[in-house]
A and B are shown apart, each in its own frame.
Chain A
Amino acid sequence: MSVDPGRTIVLWCPDWPVLAAGREHGLDPVAPMALIEAGLVFACSAAARRDGVARGLKLREAQYRSPDLIVLDYDVALDARMFEPVVRAVEATVPGVQLVRPGTLAMRARGPARYYGGEDAAAEALLATVAELGVDGARVGVADGPFAAEQAARAAGASPFLIVPPGASARFIAPLPVGLVVDARTNILLSRLGVRTLGELAALPDADVRRRFGAAGAFAHERAAGREHSRVVARTPPPEFEVEQHFEPPLDRVDQLAFAFRMRAEEFIDRMRAVRLVCTALRIELDDERGGHSSRSWLHPRWFTPADVVDRVRWQLQGAGTADDGLASPIVRLRVVPERVDSTGNHEEGLWGGGPDERVHHGLTRVQSMLGHEAVVTAAIGGGRMLADRQVLVPWGDRAPERPNDAPWPGSLPALAPASVFRERLPITLLDASGTSVAIDARGTISSPPERFAVGGGRATPVRAWAGPWPVVERWWDAEHAKRVHRFQVVDDDGCAWLLVRDADGWWAEARYD
């Protein structure tokens, strides 16, 4: 009944997350570096490990041990994305590869061993393949079953590969700690029971382990005994949708580039449509002649059509400029990668066409292609004390950032909100009866009541009513972002009400109730 897992090769790239992050951010791989997940070190480079940094350490402790430590956030997607070329190259050398996790690949040994003339020759061929991609220090382990083979790869140490002879896997893994096959809680329990190595676990009677630890325990027991049921399940290489175009000579005009890319964009969408997929998010990467690189993800509220893709390329290129603007540096390479695809079935139009919202979307997309992506926005109310912080404008099609707005925000305005909120605060003057500017002292009292009020350099008009100051103190603990302002409400002679703020630079109109 037990399935023979067969001889398995595992290719392991040590510290892959660190390598991937270092490549993405252009960092020196020999520098001490650590990736952080949930405040704990997830992975670290060899240099950091020499300083005493280890997985599971708190960030502060790691920085204490290695003061030069470069700290980055761990990004699972980046990890997988960077590993993809490695998987492809290995697939070209050895077919039927299983991606265990980014950095670790498993494959069956029989085919490659016969083709290359021996397991050691196959291992060397694999190592040569990944070395070509610049992945140094990869290790190969060969054993009976993926688990044992991975342990062999990790145990290889200084030599590039380690081959455990057939039938010797159980003996090979016996001295390894039991934590490799069970979860943390069971690990503690087992060590209290005096079972510390895989060999000791394997020595327990099968039925007893099952009775005491259930199915998970039985599974771990079989692994520990070198009887693995799991076999290598080769992945099906995903169809390639990304398109890439090189420009020779490089193009430096947005409209030229958009025109040149139009055909490719259609091909990009058609290829997906052929397998009944639609793209709902994509990433555009641009390389320019001077070696600059720009990469940005674009979302679509529905799905991308070829014209939409070309639009996104244009927007990314022109930024705030117009279509006729020249670029800072000519573009040599353009690559479009789908980030999220979905089955067309989920996006099928109704029998009588989509709802009115679809029309709205088309119309707004037209306006966006006229003015640029950022020009058409939807609004949401975010958190904050200053009015400009509270309005969150999201370009049409992008997802609204999740900002809590249910917090009380002491110091924010009461229910009546001003109808006009100035993007740039207007400079104003607020004068008292003697014609001097109203001042506020450190205790928040005004020098004299305001009498006259003028916007910009305009004529001063009498103040009909006023109230204030209402202090707003933000981030006093942070010298750079600290803000301390006083707010006033003022009604001018025309019966128009203003919200004024006084900060270190003077008097401003923040908003108008008009």
Chain B
Amino acid sequence: MTAPLAASAAPPARVEELQARIRGMQATRLDSKAVPTHPALRSVLPGGTLREGTVVQVEGSMTLLMALLSGPSASGHWVAVAGFPEFGVEAAARFGIDLERLVLVPDPGRQWLTVVAALADVIPVVAVRPAGRVSPAESSRLQARLRQRGATLLVAGDWPGSDARLGVEASEWHGLEQGHGRLAEREVVVSAARRGEFVRSARSRLRLPGRALEFAPVGQGAAELAEPVSLDDTRRRAAG
């Protein structure tokens, strides 16, 4: 029982390298293809892009979810949204999601997991809000199916064994004052954590959305908080 304490005393660089090696060996998706992703999210997502067969948790922001969906949708993929009765269609359209290739299942009810599996069979990017807890067995079964079909699942909620976790930590609106003005743009701090990381997470500042309804990183200061590690680096480190 004293082993973890001893390990925590090791120099951080060494721990990081070991973690990278473990990740490299555990990785189930080294060869999985990248899904077209909105350029603004490159600095946010671990690995720089969404990948086929992965599960990404998205917490606390519908706009962030729409930003994730807009990339695949703009490049001609179908996207599905299940379990979000309040999904703002007009906002989705203005943020670049093609309504022609958007399918909504507002109330999947108790069968939501089956519905997600059926959607993931045919639709490459599926967003879902779980209506209940998922057991690890169910989640790994679904993830196997996602990998087989090359689909990406965005989950607004808890998901055992998700590949990445994005969350909005802070949000600040500009344009609205005390009694005048109107909402114009918002800056958010998005935190991103990879599989297995619960403490360390990369933070980036994004305009979500900006004045012209665009998504963009704020300045270049974002990288100072934590340099996002691209997947190639991970591999190199794992190899080295």
Contact = CB atoms under 8 A, between A and B. Distances in A.
Interface of A: 356, 359-360, 362-364, 366-367, 370-371, 375-381, 387, 390-391, 393, 396, 414-423, 449, 465-467, 489, 491, 494-497, 511-514
Interface stretch (B3-11, B80-88, B199-207, B230-238): B80-88
Given A449-B178, A449-B179, A514 B62 contact: yes
B104 A379 contact: yes
Contact of B118 (A356, A367, A423): A367
A325 to B, nearest CB: 14
Given A378-B99, A415-B94, A367 B179 contact: no
Nearest to B66: A419
A497 B179 contact: no
A452 to B, nearest CB: 14
Given A377-B104, A419-B91, A465 B176 contact: yes
Question: Which 4 residue pairs of A and B lie closest in terms of their CB atoms, listed nearest first?
Answer: A363-B122, A419-B62, A495-B171, A417-B91
Contact of A360 (B88, B122, B170, B209): B122
A376 B184 CA distance: 33
B220 interface: no
B25 interface: no
Contacts of A363: 118-119, 121-123
B78 interface: yes
Contacts of A418: 88, 91
B170 A367 contact: no
B216 to A, nearest CB: 15
A422 B106 CA distance: 12
A511 B183 CA distance: 13
Contact of B172 (A356, A362, A489, A495): A495
B76 to A, nearest CB: 10
Interface string B96-138: 0001101111111101001100110111000000000000000
A496 to B, nearest CB: 6
Given A376-B103, A467-B176, A360 B91 contact: no
B225 to A, nearest CB: 18
A462 to B, nearest CB: 12
A91 B240 CA distance: 89
A497 B94 CA distance: 18
Given A367-B119, A497-B173, A514-B60, A467 B181 contact: yes
A363 B108 CA distance: 15
Given A467-B179, A467-B181, A360 B63 contact: no
A190 to B, nearest CB: 55
Main secondary structure of the interface of B (DSSP, over half): mixed
Contacts of A379: 89, 92, 99, 102, 104
A489 B66 CA distance: 21
Contacts of B31: none
A513 B90 CA distance: 12
Contact of B179 (A366, A375, A466): A466
A391 B104 CA distance: 12
B176 A376 contact: no
B14 interface: no
14 contacts: A360-B103, A363-B121, A370-B111, A378-B104, A387-B88, A387-B90, A391-B89, A416-B184, A419-B88, A467-B181, A489-B176, A511-B86, A513-B186, A514-B63
Contacts of A416: 94, 182-184, 209, 213
Contact of B177 (A421, A422, A465, A513): A465
A380 B99 contact: yes
B213 A419 contact: no
Interface in B154-197: 170-173, 176-184, 186
Contacts of B100: 378
B226 interface: no
Contacts of A390: 89-90
A497 B208 CA distance: 12
Contacts of A367: 105, 115, 118-119
A467 B180 contact: yes
Contacts of A356: 78
B22 interface: no
B61 interface: yes
Contact of A414 (B86, B87, B182): B182
Contacts of A387: 88, 90
Nearest to B170: A495
B52 to A, nearest CB: 15
B93 interface: yes
B31 to A, nearest CB: 22
